[in-house]
Amino acid sequence: MQAGSTQHKPAWFVTGTDTEIGKTFVCCALLHALRRAGLSAVAMKPVAAGFDDNGRNDDVDRLLAASSLQPPLELVNPYGFKAAIAPHIAAEEEGRRIELPHIIATFAQLQALADAVLVEGVGGFCVPLGPGSDAADLAAVLQLPLILVVGMRLGCINHALLTQQAIAARSLPLAGWVANRIDPEMSRFSENLAALQERLAAPLLGVVEHGTTPEQAALGLRLPQQGK
């Protein structure tokens, strides 16, 4: 069962093999794919770090721009920190604490507004959020199937397989994965992609080519089966 009273609506938690591997870009592409499928779709980034003097964060702004509706910012991003550093360090420096129950409640409010919701994690799957909690805990308490974004570069196979193990250790379903070509010069791309397809126990939802827009990338993505 997913968090909230609208558990039958499609929703996924988008995680990645590392930071800076294109989670936000893929989220935006998936939002466009959902909208092309006739669904109103919105994304939330529960924890974001790195805000300018005007209180703006690039990732949050991009998710809002790709969403079907413009909900209140506090629903899209309940925890925002000024410094572009690890969230548990940023929270400590600002004298704040990331509370998972608050994120769950916020997600439920956002889910009530749209047909489908994407929840973008922060950094990799196990990034700390505070004393005794991390991004994996957030995925677990939300009880959402996961979409894994694999940043296609040297070392991605190891990172992807370790992330899959961490997801399985939480008994969470991996609904699918996206290969994001963050390194257009990656050597032996096809061979690496094949190795991942053989070893990841989830369907490949698509390959995002370097230099595309989210709208263009959406055309090459297929959505995970609902509830998986």
Q: Specify binding-site residues.
A: 20-25, 59, 120-123, 180-181, 215
Sequence ranges of the binding site for ATP: 20-25, 59, 120-123, 180-181, 215
- CB contact at 8 A, 13 and 137: no
Sequence ranges of the binding site for Mg(2+): 24, 59, 120
* Pairwise CA distance, residues 31 & 11, whole Å: 11
Task: Map residue 43 onto helix, strand or coil.
Answer: strand
Catalytic annotation, residues: 45
Q: Which residue type, as a one-letter code, is found at position 220?
A: G
Cβ partners under 8 Å of residue 91, min gap 6: 79, 81, 97, 98, 129, 130
* Pairwise CA distance, residues 73 & 197, whole Å: 37
